Amino acid sequence: MDVLIIGGTQFVGRALTDAALAAGHEVTLFHRGQTGADIFPDVPRVLGDRDGEIERLDGRWDVVIDTCGYVPRLVSSSVDHLSRRAERYVFVSTISVYADDVVPPVVEASKLAAAEGDLGEVIDGRTYGPLKAQCERVVRDRCPDALIIRPGLIVGPWDPTDRFSYWPDRVRRGGRVLAPGAPERPIQIIDVRDLAEWTIAAIGAQCRGTYNLVGPESPLSMRVFLDACREVSGAEAEFAWIDDDALVAGDAKPMTEVPFWLPGSHPRSAWVFRIDAARARGAGLRYRTIEETIGATLAWLDTRAPDRVWKAGLSAEREAVLLQRD
């Protein structure tokens, strides 16, 4: 296949490019050139901003994979321009499109966030999900054969958010590690490589419609995850479980300062880690083990500058303060 990837050099796009090339497909990248300009040197690329420069794409492709569509206006212009130049459109969405009061287990037909009216184009915690839902509607209305994927928390090498990476790194450093919330509460993730490999295979299999992409297949608790981090890293770490009330009282920031943690009072805590991906598994989704994902993430972390500023996770000082609430 001839594949056009909008984005394609940072995290999800990078993994999709790797997967498409590994499957023997021809790939063209369209991106601004601000990240990853030196990777995939043999892959054709068109430099440009989708906001006003989408017309630079004047070739023909079998499929377009849109990894970075966040506002309906820009997705609309991309779909209008590229639907005449490609047979299929694939849109990377998010489980954040689901309504705060959705009832788990969350399937593809579950209630979506309100997507009516003008939400503007400022992307924040309030607008991200509804804007993505509006983008989905644009793609679905204009490309009836589109493939729309709704990943959960995407993790693995090259993750720019640091939400997953914080935990293997922190556990590897050993000592007394703050472990948030109830030990047996479930978490769900999707390794970016599993996402990418499934997406490329699903395109080849002519899958269409909407698919939740989360894992693993067997239930994963925060305790099991942290134990796996300790086993893979070989660290001597001790986990101090701090409950929701203590973390809230300490003004801990959910999902950013304390990744993978949402207090029970949060509107999404009832469902965000209870997504049903049976449809994607039925269409061939397979998973790496959590140990494989942790190991690959640690190996990638070893390539980063040691003085790099982390985007998520507790500083040593903040962790020490919160540990006093044990």
Q: What is the pLDDT of residues 64-101, one digit of tens each?
A: 999 999 999 999 999 999 999 999 999 999 999 999 99
Give percent of the chain with pLDDT exceeding 90.
92
Residue 118 has pLDDT above 80, yes or no: no
With CA atoms as reference, report the closest residue to 2 among 73, 88, 66, 72: 88
Rounded mean pLDDT of the chain? Answer: 96
> What CATH class is the domain 2-155+191-215?
alpha beta
Which residues is 176 bridged to in the sheet?
Answer: 238
With CA atoms as reference, report the closest residue to 258 among 157, 159, 325, 162: 162
Tell me the C-alpha distance between 249 and 242, whole Å: 11
Tell me the C-alpha distance between 164 and 154, whole Å: 8
Residue 116 has pLDDT above 90, yes or no: no
Does pTM surpass 0.85?
yes
Q: Is 257 helix (H, G, I), strand (E, B) or coil?
A: coil
pLDDT of residue 199: 99
Whether residue 258 contacts residue 162, with contact meaning beta carbons closer than 8 Å, is answered with: no
- Tell me which residue has tokens 């639907």: 83
pLDDT of residue 14: 97
Whether residue 112 contacts residue 99, with contact meaning beta carbons closer than 8 Å, is answered with: yes
pLDDT of residue 319: 98
Return the higher-pLDDT residue of 119 and 295: 295
Tell me the C-alpha distance between 64 and 294, whole Å: 31
pLDDT digits (tens, 9 = 90+) for 193-244: 999 999 999 999 999 999 999 999 889 999 999 999 999 999 999 999 999 9
Residue 122 CB burial class (10 angstroms; 0-12, 13-18, ≥19):
exposed
pLDDT of residue 316: 97
Tell me the C-alpha distance between 57 and 51, whole Å: 13
pLDDT digits (tens, 9 = 90+) for 270-292: 999 999 999 999 999 999 999 99
Q: Which residues are CB-contacts of 264 (< 8 A; sequence separation ≥ 6)? A: 244
Second-level CATH architecture of 166-187+218-269+290-323: Alpha-Beta Complex (3.90)
Alpha carbons within 13 A on the beta-carbon side of 237: 25
Residue type, 12: V
Q: What is the DSSP secondary structure assignment for residue 314, as one 8-state letter?
A: -
Tell me the C-alpha distance between 17 and 268, whole Å: 32
DSSP H or E segment with residue 104:
none
Whether residue 155 contacts residue 297, with contact meaning beta carbons closer than 8 Å, is answered with: yes
pLDDT of residue 225: 99
φ, ψ at 155 (rounded to 5°): -135, 170
The domains spanning 2-155+191-215 and 166-187+218-269+290-323 adopt the same CATH topology: no
pLDDT digits (tens, 9 = 90+) for 16-42: 999 999 999 999 999 998 888 889 999
Q: Where are the domains of the chain?
A: 2-155+191-215, 166-187+218-269+290-323
**Tokens linked to 271:** 């469902």
Whether residue 202 contacts residue 211, with contact meaning beta carbons closer than 8 Å, is answered with: yes
